[in-house]
Structure 1
Amino acid sequence: MERLVPDELWELFARVVPPAPTRPQGGGRRRYGDREVPAAIVFVATSGCTWKQLPPSFGPSGPTAHRRFSEWSRARVWAKLHRLVLDEPGARGDLDWSRCAIDSVNMRALKGDLTGPNPVDRGKKGSKVHLITERTGLPISVGISGANLHDSQALRPLVRGIPPIRSRRGPRRRKPAKLHADKGYDYDHLRRWLRKRGITHRIARKGIESSTRLGRHRWTIERTMAWLAGCRRLHCRYERKAEHFLACTLICYRRLTK
């Protein structure tokens, strides 16, 4: 359990987890403590096993871990934890906002909302994970959509979705200095929107320049997406609800970029 959820991470987790519900009538089985459940959830999210296949060594059963996972997902615990995790390197000045990058990766989906025909997978049902990373590859904004959504439509929501993150000096920050993107974001209205917000854009132009040159600064986000695709729970989407799939994504990001 210590390997999957270190004490430092648990201290942050304890700040955002909601209090356990009370039973006015009393009775019933003892509820597993919150300290025992996160390791089981992290194991399922990163290993790809089903909830029923959760080893008994973790303590809580698979259905118990799944109920707690659903409960915490509805309370946006994972998004709050993601922000707290970013605050630590931000306060130390380890987040590099000078060259952020935006991209997406397609995932096969069996069911659920925010799915659609994947144009690069023979029209099979799928979802798309959109993300913005800072210069070293740490994700600062993550979103989910159907696989048929064009990448350009996710740029504005992702930029707006960057949480206010602590800085070593001054107020919290939520705006990159420069944003790199490939030709899928080559639209003048997006360039105007970024300039209006004071963000320098570096977007490859269709038919004019190669994406290879832009890759000198975008390789970190490509590496992060490769890490993400290696998580068996995300290799194929099994979660019926989009917020559960997003929660698994945030858990895997925290595990892989710790």
Structure 2
Amino acid sequence: MGTSPWIVSDDLWERIEPLLPGKERRVRHPGRKPLPDRQVLCGILFVLHTGIQWEYLPKELGFGSSMTCWRRLRDWNEAGVWQQMHEVLLAELNAAARLDWSRAVVDFSHVRANKRGDRTGPSPVDRGRAGSKHHLITDGHGTPLAVILTGGNRNDVTQLMPLIDAIPPIRGRVGHPRRKPDSLFADRGYDHDIYRDQVRQRRIVPAIARRGTLHGTGLGTYRWVVERSFAWLHGFKRLRIRWERRADIHDAFLKRACYLITHRQLRVLR
């Protein structure tokens, strides 16, 4: 029988525990002993996987209160824990020569934002309803390198350069950390010569489909990996609809999902 996906494995816990910020307890009047971080992580994962609302988080599973899980998700995101964890796992993949630097692929996905909030906007593909966009860049294998959250009315091409710049310096190999692919693949939504020139200025070869050209250019042979990555992202039910008014909380879920996908890629090597 398989383990529940919200259970934090020993392998994952060994990597993330050193990144969690310590919290000093008061010597006098220390109060109630805080819930162990590992149990809280399981609670956050439960919400991410099932999409359940915070107030319905089942205490009988040992996750503690919903507010405890919410606060630590917020605090750990502010401390950069999720980003650091993602970079640790990317470095391990890089050390194993399992990151394909020959190309990167970008795309976006729209999600409805039922409660509106920061970084939402009227979506042109959803009859003007409030929504957000997940902008993703992956390596040639579909491993997430960076993700950005914007309002649903933001033009996709405006996030092309921020996505490239959001790729962290990835260690794991001899020499300087790497953060640039050799080429960049994108669909017609990113067709603009100004941005092609900006990509070239970063010494990256742009392979961006042009509007008005016939389908069958062959770019889809390489671009399908980012679509598969979005399917993996939205396999986490909490990311299919944005329920959070606060952008930083939804962004924290996004980053958690990215490092979990990266961890799966690492487990394939074993």
Q: TM-score, normalised by structure 2?
A: 0.90
1:35 counterpart SS class: helix
Show CA shifts across 1:121-180 (max 9, x none).
000000000010001111001100001001100011111110001143322100011110
Question: How far 1:67 moved relative to its partner?
Answer: 1.6
**2:97 pairs with 1:88:** no
1:208 counterpart SS class: coil
Structure 1's unaligned 5+ residue stretches are none
Instruction: Output aligned runs, 1:46-57, within 5 Å.
Output: 46-55=49-58, 56-57=60-61
Moved more, 245-254 or 219-228: 245-254
Moved more, 207-216 or 115-124: 207-216
**2:34 pairs with 1:16:** no
Select the residue among 73, 77, 81 that pairs with 1:77: 81
Q: Would the aligned equivalents of 1:115 and 1:146 in 2 still touch at CA under 8 Å?
A: yes
Distance of 1:21 and 1:127 partners within structure 2: 37
Distance of 1:188 and 1:128 partners within structure 2: 23
Distance of 1:80 and 1:236 partners within structure 2: 26
Q: TM-score, normalised by structure 1?
A: 0.94
Select the residue among 14, 17, 32 that pairs with 2:35: 32
- Percent identity, aligned pairs only? 43
Tell me: CA distance 1:211–1:18, structure 2 relative to 1, closer, same or farther (3 Å).
Answer: farther
Select the residue among 188, 198, 214 that pairs with 1:193: 198
Select the residue among 243, 249, 253 that pairs with 1:248: 253
Distance of 2:16 and 2:84 partners within structure 1: 9
CA-atom RMSD in angstroms: 1.7
**2:232 pairs with 1:230:** no
Distance of 2:137 and 2:228 partners within structure 1: 13
* Superposition misfits of 4+ residues, deviation over 4 angstroms: none
Show CA shifts across 1:66-109 (max 9, x none).
12112112222111111112111111111111121000000100
Distance of 1:121 and 1:96 partners within structure 2: 35
Show CA shifts across 1:24-56 (max 9, x none).
542311111212211111111111011222222
Distance of 1:211 and 1:83 partners within structure 2: 35
Moved more, 32-41 or 16-25: 16-25
Tell me: CA distance 1:207–1:108, structure 2 relative to 1, closer, same or farther (3 Å).
Answer: same
Select the residue among 202, 216, 219 that pairs with 1:214: 219
Amino acid at match of 1:11: E
Moved more, 204-213 or 223-232: 204-213
Tell me what 1:58 maps to: 62
Question: How far 1:2 moved relative to its partner?
Answer: 8.2
1:144 counterpart SS class: strand
Q: Would the aligned equivalents of 1:167 and 1:173 in 2 still touch at CA under 8 Å?
A: no
Tell me: CA distance 1:192–1:251, structure 2 relative to 1, closer, same or farther (3 Å).
Answer: same
**2:165 pairs with 1:160:** yes
**2:179 pairs with 1:169:** no
1:86 counterpart SS class: helix
